[in-house]
Amino acid sequence: MFDSLSEKLEGALQSLSGQGRITELNIAESMREIRRALLDADVNYQVAKDFTDRIKEQVLGQDVINAVSPGQLLVKIVYDELVHFLGETQQDITFSQNPPTVILIAGLQGSGKTTFAGKLANHFKGKGRSPMLAAADVYRPAAVDQLKTLADSIEVPVYSLEENGQIVQDPVRIAREAVKAAREQARDILIIDTAGRLHVDDKMMTEVADIKSAVSPDEILFVVDAMTGQDAVNTAVEFNQRLNFDGVVLTKLDGDTRGGAALSIRTVVEKPIKFASTGEKLDALTPFYPERMAQRILGMGDVVSLVEKAQEQFDQGQAEKLQKKIRSENFDLVDFLDQLGRLKKMGSMKDLVGMIPGVGRQVKDLDIEDDAFKYIEAIIYSMTVEERQKPEIINGSRRRRIAIGAGVEVREVNQLLKQFRDMRKMMKTMTKLMGKGRSMDLGALMGGR
């Protein structure tokens, strides 16, 4: 996520490290490097210039206290300006006082609108709401089927309109009737997926504007592919002029992209970025927090998001129950398998590792697969229930049988059992040291192949 920008900014910020004081000369050089880093990352030229001008204005003339080096001061100011540049604070969806809250999704074809609609429905369902989807993209082949497939996987209804076995190509009517259906079915959120084109044209704009007029949405979200470069900014301007949208959604942030153009949208159209999407899975969607994104861009990690993801999978009751098993040495491979499952549900492994301060940049070129635990799981699934509960009974013949069943070498079974024994001892020791009143997160103790 913004690897190129992160790397270049790091190089620019290092130019002041070791300097005894800030001067016109060294700050000018640093600003040139930062501006070049932003432009190389596809940030809009005027946005990049304004960004560095604001930093220079703040840095020059400041007294550097003894405890802070010029380099540290610059990092702090760049961080503050980056947060400002990204929007200051997280902006939530505006909910209607009279349900359903109607959310209109707009953007170009290929930007990820339909997938985002499914992700957004899944996001709200996870928060205890009752979303419905409306299939108003009636032109793209299989668009309605795609939306229904996504909706079925999360058990959310889709409103679509067919007559004589054919999809009715009247998106305005579909949107209007979907609002009525959502109200009748007591659905508190309606998400309307609209058609896009490969480029902005008047027919598309008129159609989306007509849907807006027909249903008066509470929220209009503009979806943009983070990999599309400066065209993303120009498209955002045109959409905003016609729709006056409420927020931006950045998709495909996990791609090999410079991403700066997408970030420029916030400044150019003066609308907040509300969501960021980082993969195809329906849970790969997060609200956009400017301060957290700034931390990640500057290589500071994102501990808050990591903790929040962990809390979604580990509740206090489960943690206490698990801790008792650890203390009594009853923690077995069944528990271990359960913890692996919870860890996997937290999201992309590379994305999770990238949230750890100081680690993200080190792993950016590593191929960390989401199925990193598949061999461990295969070995454990090849065991009997008794073997999982009492791994100490696994002798040589059992190990050979387990290895054949898992499709691995016997030495890999031996390695897993040794790692499990060592981990169980370490966990018991750590639990004693931490005291009875605190629980322990096991995620950090688990490794893949």
Would you state the pLDDT for residue 367?
A: 53
101 bridge partner residues: 189
Q: What angle, rounded to 10 degrees, do the helices at 231-243 and 260-269 form?
A: 30
Mean pLDDT over residues 227-243, rounded?
Answer: 84
Picking from 31-35, 75-79, 94-98, 349-353, which range would have the lowest pLDDT averaged per residue?
Answer: 349-353
Mean pLDDT over residues 146-150, rounded?
Answer: 93
pLDDT band per the 50, 70, 90 thresholds, residue 147: very high
Would you state the pLDDT for residue 222?
A: 94
**CB atoms near residue 169 (< 10 Å):** 11
Q: Are 314 and 419 in contact (CB under 8 A)?
A: no
Would you state the pLDDT for residue 438?
A: 42
User: Which range is most confident: 155-159, 233-237, 259-263?
Assistant: 155-159
Task: Look up residue 135 and give its two tokens.
Answer: 């299939």
In the predicted structure, residue 328 carries a pLDDT above the cut 70: no
What does the alpha-carbon distance between residue 159 and residue 24 come to, in Å, rounded to a whole number? Answer: 62
Task: Look up residue 76 and give its two tokens.
Answer: 């702090």
Predicted confidence (pLDDT) per residue in 180-210, tens digit: 999 999 999 999 999 887 777 888 889 999 9
Would you state the pLDDT for residue 4?
A: 67
Mean pLDDT over residues 413-440, rounded?
Answer: 68
Average pLDDT, the chain: 79
Would you state the pLDDT for residue 66?
A: 43
Would you state the pLDDT for residue 228?
A: 75
- Which of the pair, 58 or 190, is modelled with greater confidence? 190
- Which of the pair, 142 or 248, is modelled with greater confidence? 248
pLDDT band per the 50, 70, 90 thresholds, residue 78: confident
- Which of the pair, 302 or 378, is modelled with greater confidence? 378
pLDDT band per the 50, 70, 90 thresholds, residue 275: very high
**CB atoms near residue 45 (< 10 Å):** 12
Mean pLDDT over residues 334-346, rounded?
Answer: 76
Would you state the pLDDT for residue 371?
A: 64
What does the alpha-carbon distance between residue 333 and residue 349 come to, in Å, rounded to a whole number? Answer: 21
**pTM across the whole model:** 0.67
Would you state the pLDDT for residue 202?
A: 83
pLDDT band per the 50, 70, 90 thresholds, residue 346: low
102 bridge partner residues: 190
Picking from 6-10, 118-122, 181-185, 247-251, which range would have the lowest pLDDT averaged per residue?
Answer: 6-10
The 3-state secondary structure of the chain reads: CCHHHHHHHHHHHHHHCCCCCCCHHHHHHHHHHHHHHHHHCCCCHHHHHHHHHHHHHHHCCCCCCCCCCHHHHHHHHHHHHHHHHHCCCCCCCCCCCCCCEEEEEEECCCCCHHHHHHHHHHHHHHCCCCEEEEEECCCCCCHHHHHHHHHHHHCCCEECCEECCEECCCHHHHHHHHHHHHHHCCCCEEEEEECCCCCCCHHHHHHHHHHHHHHCCCEEEEEEECCCCCHHHHHHHHHHHHHCCCEEEEECCCCCCCCHHHHHHHHHHCCCEEEEECCCCCCCEEECCHHHHHHHHCCCCCHHHHHHHHHHHCCHHHHHHHHHHHHCCCCCHHHHHHHHHHHHHCCCHHHHHHCCCCCHHHHCCCCCCCCCCHHHHHHHHCCCHHHHHCHHHCCHHHHHHHHHHHCCCHHHHHHHHHHHHHHHHHHHHHHHHHCCCCCCCCHHHCCCC
- Cα 1–chain centre separation: 10
- Which of the pair, 387 or 41, is modelled with greater confidence? 387
User: Which range is most confident: 61-75, 175-189, 310-324?
Assistant: 175-189
In the predicted structure, residue 436 carries a pLDDT above the cut 50: no
Would you state the pLDDT for residue 423?
A: 75
**CB atoms near residue 280 (< 10 Å):** 11
Q: Domains in the chain, start-ordered, CATH in brackets?
A: 3-86 (1.20.120.140), 101-300 (3.40.50.300), 306-445 (1.10.260.30)
Nearest Cα to 221, choosing from 194, 193, 245, 243?
Answer: 245
Percent of the chain with pLDDT over 90: 33
What does the alpha-carbon distance between residue 144 and residue 131 come to, in Å, rounded to a whole number? Answer: 17
Would you state the pLDDT for residue 446?
A: 38
pLDDT band per the 50, 70, 90 thresholds, residue 233: confident
Predicted confidence (pLDDT) per residue in 104-143, tens digit: 999 988 888 999 999 999 999 999 999 999 999 988 878 8
What does the alpha-carbon distance between residue 425 and residue 427 come to, in Å, rounded to a whole number? Answer: 5
247 bridge partner residues: 221
Picking from 173-182, 282-291, 370-379, which range would have the lowest pLDDT averaged per residue?
Answer: 370-379
- Which of the pair, 351 or 195, is modelled with greater confidence? 195
pLDDT band per the 50, 70, 90 thresholds, residue 297: confident
